[in-house]
Amino acid sequence: MIELVPTRDRENFIVNIQAAFKKAVVEEFGDDGEEVIPREDVEKSFAAEGAEIFDIVSGGVIVGGAVVVIRPSKRNELALFFVNVDCHGKGIGAAAWRAIEKLYPDTKIWETCTPYFEKRNLHFYINKCGFHAVEFYNPHHKDPNEPEEDFPGGEYFFRFEKFMAR
């Protein structure tokens, strides 16, 4: 059973998300020794207005994490989401996403972004969670809300939306 528990150890969250995000970048581009998601970016998500930070817990063990941004408009954002590398392929991400949806039943639209090369994420968001790709950020169509990403492939992102049934 998956539980969403408010994060008490933000340092542990940061270390775990950095490890989870780095795996895909290293597999695709090799290891340049840099953090894929800098601490400052994670802390910025923590500090966003309406942000709620969760550990994803299974059997009393932290297996991932999520930052959601809940807005009065009910157009909410999955700002950060990860499953620890050693827990991939066990249905934890899908169960955690269902728990997030259940926790926020008044949401009209969920929005999130993921890098173009992250095939696991593309499969997860589209085929497992029901999101639709609605925008492709690239050097000719930049994300107006984000500065240039400085990791390999960082200028190419998909933006997804999921309209919730009422």
Distances from the Cα of 8 to the Cαs of 17, 69, 74, 155, in angstroms?
15, 18, 26, 32
Bridge partner list, 126: none
Question: Along the 166 residues of the chain, how does pLDDT read in single tens digits?
Answer: 999 999 999 999 999 999 998 887 887 778 877 788 889 999 999 999 999 999 999 999 999 999 999 999 999 999 999 999 898 889 999 999 999 999 999 999 999 999 888 888 999 999 999 999 999 988 888 877 765 555 555 688 899 999 998 6
pTM over 0.85: yes
In the chain the domains, ranked by start, together with CATH numbers, are 2-163 (3.40.630.30)
pLDDT score recorded for residue 108:
98
Q: Which of 17, 59, 64 is nearest to 40 (CA)?
A: 17
